[in-house]
Structure 1
Amino acid sequence: MSKDLNNNQESSAVRNVPISVLDLAPVNVGTTPAESFPKTLELAQHAEKLGFSRYWLAEHHNMTGIASSATSLVIGYVAAGTKKIRVGSGGIMLPNHAPLVIAEQFGTLESMYPGRIDLGLGRAPGSDQLAAQALRRGLGSNGQDFPQLLKELQGYFNSTPQSARSVRAVPGEGLNIPIWLLGSSGFSAQLAGTLGLPFAFASHFAPEYLLPALELYRSHFQPSAALDKPHVMVGINVIAAETGEEARRLVTSLQQQFLNLIRGNPGKLNPPVDNMDDLWAPHERAALESKFSYSVAGNKAEVQDKLQAILKETQADELIATAQIFDHQARLRSYEILAEAANLQPVKQD
């Protein structure tokens, strides 16, 4: 395994793997993005103390309920407010950007916060067609040029320019910034395997493709300078509370978010409700429940059991958990319970 990837001590409760946080920087109904960023930083500081390994932020556009569209800026904000936890992108949607710009941005981040920056890359636009057009991304693009963009990006991190007239990323050139490929299908899985890069799968919203994608990745894996064997991180939704009943109430905010997405009406994160049957039709409920096979809403014991089951089925090397919870204090507590369920070791603060 790459020297850049983290390891924890063996746990008797849950098979030992690093567990990380994926933060969508949610914007709640009745609030603004300006109110979301301090909560993101507080959660990152909380996650660091609890022993989580990474804190990743995602690029999305034209979504009023997600504040992390300028992902590199938010990564810098979080890294500046923390001390040890790795901070990165889950992910940067590379086709939206010139590879040189991403090399310079992440070269700058790595120069400011050495040894703490991860660059997770996806090939989707992270937006609708109108936003993709506004990003100067051709509407005819389907991400097929992603391998070429990735190769160009990797070239900017090389320590030796290809020629005296080569364009150089400064900062960026010669820096060891771990690159992850992210995916929700087989395309990036196979590419990550072929290139010998770590792979993270978005099973928190595309669970039906997880196992086939992991098989593709592992079967195509070729050792590289980054990794000598496959390394997989699996995304999960974890909504934890003192009681299973309370957790299942909290998860209704996430369910409403998914419901609005499939209805083509994304918006801000709604408060929880007592009964989702008042909001969704039977066919919508069936469609949404299929999205939660690698998710859990429950108490500590229920979370622990689900983690065990996911690790047994996927043989994942890491997990990354997201928690779309309306109440900020309940969200902080949810990650505390997850850390307890996974027996994470708190980090001593300087």
Structure 2
Amino acid sequence: MAATRRRTGASGRRRWPRRVLVTLLFVLVLLVGYGAGLYFWADQRLRTTEAFGDDSDRPTGGKGTDWLLVGSDSRADLTPEQRKQLHVGNDGGLNTDTIMILHYGDSGPYLVSIPRDSYVPIPGHGRGKINSAYSMGGAKLLTRTVEQATGLRLDHYAEISFLGLVDVVDSIGGVRICVPDGGLRDEKSGADFDAGCQDMDGVQALQYARARYSDPQGDLGRVKRQRQLVDAIADKALGPSVALPPWKLIPFVRTTLDALTVDPGTGVGALASMGLKVRDLAGTATVPVASEPYVPGAGDVVEWDRDKARRLFTALKDDTAIPTFDSK
């Protein structure tokens, strides 16, 4: 009997690696099935818009991948109470509050902010502020304007609204933002923050990112806070507290998909890749500015430093390191 027990024990020990292997394979199958199901569900949920025009009117492609990331100032889906809470007013126009280019390839990833008041040629409309291109011709005119101003051929387009940004931040339980010395207070955006690192919910994050009137740098200061917010969202969303538990990940994915509008060629896989790149930025920059004159009919505008801007966009197109001016 003892010998039998020893044989059984030895056999059990020999079977133990097989049991572990079978268990691991079973878990892997469940994870693959879960992932595939989530991927299919997410891909079907994406909202799209035609964002690019005819190839004949677009720049030649460069190396690497270029995204146009846009934050629209649409108030269409906001109730009067939400407009008051978010300090966005009742303007019926539709411009772009945030315009960024994300580039990655052998070099990067780099996130480049385009000031919304950049004074550039808008095809068919003369010169104007770049953020007005959207209101004149939607995503297609905006991408065409950006491509012609930068010489870059964009590969993907992604847009999010005021309320969408608030919902995304809230879906991950808020973000950690470090406010510079002196704090930040802006009556128009609602920002009221002391200096130091602090947790912000969706409304507070929007107020922080949109503040510009009390900032001596104006729109140029705002684009830095917008990049800071993008980095904070990516860091939190791709961290273990959100990315691993399905009860956290699925609500975040659902909220993000509901908040985004992308071009038809952009799927969930491309969005996931973009999110990972944003979390691991090699550098950030703002298009170099030469002056901020007043233009009759347009107001205060931003004029690019043409030589420095050309060097920046050439580096992006060639997929090489961006110049060091105003980089992170």
Question: Same fold by TM-score, threshold 0.5 exceeded?
Answer: no
Q: If each structure's strand is expressed as a fraction of its own residues, which one has the higher value? A: 2
TM-score, L = length of structure 1 = 0.27
TM-score, L = length of structure 2 = 0.29
